[in-house]
């Protein structure tokens, strides 16, 4: 069975990421972000959201593991900050419902949602520049980089919360990630 | 989603195995989580379980009577009338966490006494999966997790619904035939009406919140909200029968949600909002105005404190 580790960055919705994956029938565990990288045994990682870049534990080291990585909210910002992208304060906080425009309908993670999707978000910071090798795959009126992908290295991120009940077609994003991991 | 029948069988067997021939207590809050945990434990060990319900004076209208009725099949049920002790312990406290703390402390004092007189070696709790994660996240302190075990030296703690989500607990409640009231009852916070009044929880404000919550629950029923309630949020000027009043401001909230983690403010019809406004200001002399909260979660939380 496909095994996915949800890395807990102290986000409120971490347990909903576990729940969505559990309901999709994969083997899933919530893993403390202080776990040594060598102890992580999974076919894919979800980096959860969280309140603070200072509490991301060993997340930077997990990016060197040879498995697909999917960052949610702060998890995506970790990808940008640790690779050579840039994260900063947004002009307009993204809270509750946001209409997101999908820019790449071929993207393995979110392409199936094209042309647009209604999501639920909760963030003040955002990705200002995507890292080398990444493409911006979604955008909205309140946040320029709503999603980014590097399919060659299997590194993906979304700024919104696909795990919450109010996001439309959030489960589909996790299904797509499971396909990538298999 | 939880597979209900095997879940109940396994949970009952697990409780039997853990508690053996010993005695246990559980605190009933009136909510679905502790009700389900109690019903499962009662199936497992019968009257060796003592369910304790503490009336804090901060409960919803009619709640105590409902508990008495729903759990009347348990001969060991104990109802503690502690209304005055709780309201006295809240005097002068304005900070939300301070209020939660005072209620938690008083609750432990009341419960400890019952646990000792029942000679309980085990504590059964209705902790659900998100409680375990949220109390780490520091958004708000839950008084049903922690606190109690330090005060009373139990042999063990049994948490039969620890891996379930709220909606899953409800499906189990339906199977256990706990009655529509418990199954479909809206979520209600552990500290009760104390956190539906901003600032000090005085008897007057708590009474307004109780009556207003009752009106909101009745009037929104047809719109099937996940949660609907009223909170006393401040004071403002009004005019009633040519007299100026400086009365309470009541904020009405009605939201749609699956699990309480995110919520959408409900688009209630104007007539419904007007009926709510008219009943709350009409039935309570000391309410000057009623407002409707249109904020989703995030950025707001569902409750006010």
* B55/B142 same-domain check: yes
Please check whether residues B177 and B216 belong to one and the same domain: no
User: Mean pLDDT throughout A165-172?
Assistant: 96
Domain that holds residue B11: 4-184
The verdict on B149 and B24 lying in the same domain is yes
Q: Sheet containing A3-8: give its strands across.
A: A27-32, A3-8, A44-47, A69-72, A155-158, A147-150, A135-140, A86-102, A116-129
> Average pLDDT for residues B139-157, to the nearest whole number?
61
Task: Mark whether B21 and B162 lie in a shared domain.
Answer: yes
**In chain B, which residues have their Cβ closer than 8 Å to the Cβ of A95?**
296, 298-299
Q: Which of A59, A73, A143, A181 is flagged as catalytic?
A: A73
Residue B75 has pLDDT above 60, yes or no: yes
With 80 as the cut, is the pLDDT of residue A174 above it?
Answer: yes
Greater model confidence, B283 or B188 = B283
Last residue of a domain, one of B120, B149, B184: B184
Cβ neighbours of A16 in B, within 8 Å:
259, 261
Q: Does residue B301 lie within any of the structural domains?
A: no
Neighbours of B243 (CB within 10 A): 7
- Structure confidence at residue B147 (pLDDT): 53
Give the model's pLDDT for residue B181. 58
* Residue B74: cis peptide before it, omega within 30 degrees of 0: no
Question: Is B46 among the domain residues?
Answer: yes
Nearest-by-CA chain A residue for B263: A166
Q: Does A177 touch chain B (CB under 8 A)?
A: no
**Is the pLDDT at B94 greater than 70, yes or no?**
yes
Mean pLDDT of A74-81: 98
Alpha-carbon gap, residue B59 to B36, rounded angstroms: 19
- The burial class, CB within 10 Å (0-12 / 13-18 / 19+), for B85 is middle
Q: What would the mean pLDDT of A170-177 be, rounded to a whole number?
A: 98
Residue A143 falls in the annotated catalytic set: no
**Torsions phi, psi for B2 (to 5 deg):** -65, 140
What are the pLDDT digits (tens) for B170-186? 899 999 988 765 667 78
Is A95 close to B299, i.e. CB distance below 8 A? yes
Per mean pLDDT, which range of A78-92, A125-139, B88-102, B172-186 is the poorest? Answer: B172-186
Indicate which CATH number applies to the domain containing B285.
3.30.300.10
Per-residue pLDDT of B240-260, as tens digits, reads: 888 899 999 999 999 999 888
Model confidence at A94, pLDDT cuts 50, 70, 90, reads confident
Does residue B112 sit within a domain? yes
Q: Report the residue of chain B nearest A10, measured CA to CA.
A: B137
Q: Are residues B161 and B38 in the same domain?
A: yes
Q: How far apart are CA A52 and CA A43, in angstroms?
A: 26
How confident is the model at residue B184, as a pLDDT?
Answer: 74
Q: Is B191 contained in some domain? A: no
Find the closest chain A residue to B131 by CA distance: A15
**Given an 8 Å threshold on Cβ–Cβ distance, is A12 in contact with B134?**
yes
CATH number (domain holding residue B61): 3.40.50.620
Note the pLDDT of residue B182: 66
Q: Does B96 fall in a domain?
A: yes
> Residue B99: inside a domain, yes or no?
yes
Per the structure block, which two tokens stand in for B147?
């606190």
Q: What percent of chain B has pLDDT over 90?
A: 72
Q: Return the ∠ at Cα B145 (arms to B142 and B148), rounded to 5°.
A: 120
Whether A57 has its CB under 8 Å from any CB of chain B: the answer is: no
Residues B253 and B224 in one domain: yes
Pairing of strands B243-256, B264-265: antiparallel
Q: Is A31's pLDDT higher than 70?
A: yes
Q: Which of A161-165, A166-170, B186-190 has the lowest mean pLDDT?
A: B186-190
- B57 shares its domain with B137: yes
Neighbour order of strands in the sheet with B49-55: B78-81, B49-55, B24-28, B122-124, B156-158
Domain boundary pick from B161, B184, B207: B184
Last residue of a domain, one of B142, B161, B184: B184
Between B189 and A66, the more confident residue is: A66
Q: Report if residue B144 sits inside a domain.
A: yes
A65: Cα separation from own chain's centroid: 16
Q: What is the pLDDT of residue B140?
A: 44
Note the pLDDT of residue B139. 44
Residue A164 has pLDDT above 80, yes or no: yes
Same-domain check for residues B156 and B229: no
Burial bucket for residue A89 (CB in 10 Å: 0-12, 13-18, 19+): exposed
- Contact B295/B265 with Cβ under 8 angstroms? yes
Please state, rounded to an integer, the average pLDDT across all residues of chain B: 90
pLDDT at B141: 44
Long-range (24+ apart) CB contacts under 8 A made by A115-120 are A117/A168, A117/A169, A118/A167, A118/A168, A119/A146, A119/A160, A119/A161, A119/A162, A119/A167, A119/A168, A119/A170, A120/A96, A120/A160, A120/A161, A120/A164, A120/A166, A120/A167, A120/B262
Contacts of B202 (CB under 8 A, 6+ apart): none
What is the average pLDDT across A44-51? 96
**Angle at Cα A67 formed by Cα A62 and Cα A72, nearest 5°?**
65
Binding residue numbers of B for ATP: 29-35
Taken in order of first residue, the domains within chain A and their CATH numbers are: 3-181 (3.40.50.880)
CA distance linking residue B61 with residue B280, whole number of Å: 15
Q: Are residues B140 and B226 in the same domain?
A: no
Task: Tell whether B102 and B213 lie within a shared domain.
Answer: no
Q: Is B239 on the interface with A (CB under 8 A)?
A: no
Q: What is the mean pLDDT of chain A?
A: 96
How far, in whole angstroms, is CA B191 from its chain's centroid? Answer: 7
Claim to verify: residue B145 and residue B269 sit in the same structural domain: no
Residues B27 and B154 in one domain: yes
3-state DSSP percent of chain B in helix, strand and coil, to 5: 45, 20, 35
Total structural domains in chain B?
Answer: 2
Q: Flag whether residue B296 sits within 8 Å of chain A, measured between CB atoms.
A: yes
Mark out the alpha helices in B72-202 (DSSP H runs): 83-89, 96-117, 129-137, 148-151, 166-175, 180-184
Residue B48 pLDDT > 70: yes
Q: Please check whether residue B9 lies inside any domain of the structure.
A: yes
3-class state of residue B133 by DSSP = helix
pLDDT at residue number B131: 78
Q: Is A95 on the interface with B (CB under 8 A)?
A: yes
């Amino acid at each position: 069975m496909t095994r996915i580790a949800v890395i807990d960055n102290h986000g409120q919705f971490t347990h909903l990421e576990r729940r969505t994956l559990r309901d999709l029938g994969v083997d899933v565990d919530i893993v403390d972000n202080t776990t040594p990288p060598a102890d992580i045994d999974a076919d894919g990682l979800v980096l959860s959201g969280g309140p603070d870049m200072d509490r991301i534990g060993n997340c930077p080291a997990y990016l060197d593991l040879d498995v697909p990585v999917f960052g949610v909210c702060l998890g995506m910002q970790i990808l940008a900050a640790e690779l050579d992208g840039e994260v900063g304060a947004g002009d307009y906080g993204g809270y509750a419902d946001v209409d997101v425009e999908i820019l790449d309908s071929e993207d393995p993670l979110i392409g199936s949602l094209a042309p647009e999707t209604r999501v639920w978000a909760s963030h003040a910071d955002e990705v200002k520049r995507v890292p080398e090798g990444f493409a911006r795959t979604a955008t909205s009126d309140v946040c320029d980089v709503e999603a980014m992908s590097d399919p060659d290295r299997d590194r993906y991120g979304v700024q919104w919360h696909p795990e919450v009940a109010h996001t439309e077609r959030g489960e589909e994003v996790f299904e797509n990630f499971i396909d990538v991991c298999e | 989603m939880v597979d209900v029948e095997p879940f109940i069988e396994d949970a009952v067997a697990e409780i039997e195995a853990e508690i053996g021939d010993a005695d246990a207590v559980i605190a009933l809050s009136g909510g679905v989580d502790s009700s389900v945990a109690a019903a499962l434990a009662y199936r497992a060990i019968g009257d060796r379980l003592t369910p304790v319900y503490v009336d804090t004076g901060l409960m919803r209208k009619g709640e105590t009577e409902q508990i008495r009725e729903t759990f009347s099949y348990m001969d060991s049920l104990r109802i503690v009338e502690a209304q005055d002790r709780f309201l006295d312990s809240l005097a002068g406290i304005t900070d939300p966490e301070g209020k939660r703390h005072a209620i938690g402390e008083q609750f432990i004092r009341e419960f400890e006494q019952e646990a000792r007189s029942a000679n309980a070696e085990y504590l059964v709790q209705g902790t659900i999966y998100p409680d375990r994660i949220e109390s780490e996240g520091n958004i708000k302190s839950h008084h049903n997790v922690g606190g109690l075990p330090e005060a009373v030296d139990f042999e063990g703690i049994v948490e039969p619904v620890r891996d379930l989500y709220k909606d899953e607990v409800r499906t189990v409640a339906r199977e256990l035939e706990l009655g529509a009231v418990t199954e479909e009852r809206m979520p209600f916070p552990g500290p009760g009406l104390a956190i539906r009044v901003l600032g000090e929880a005085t008897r007057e404000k708590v009474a307004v919140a109780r009556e207003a919550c009752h009106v909101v629950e009745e009037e929104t029923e047809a719109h099937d909200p996940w949660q609907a309630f009223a909170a006393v949020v401040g004071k403002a000027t009004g005019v009633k029968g040519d007299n100026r009043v400086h009365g309470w401001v009541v904020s009405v909230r009605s939201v749609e949600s699956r699990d309480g983690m995110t919520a959408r403010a409900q688009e209630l019809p104007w007539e419904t909002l007007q009926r709510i406004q008219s009943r709350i200001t009409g039935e309570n002399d000391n309410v000057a105005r009623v407002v409707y909260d249109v904020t989703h979660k995030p950025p707001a939380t569902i409750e006010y404190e």
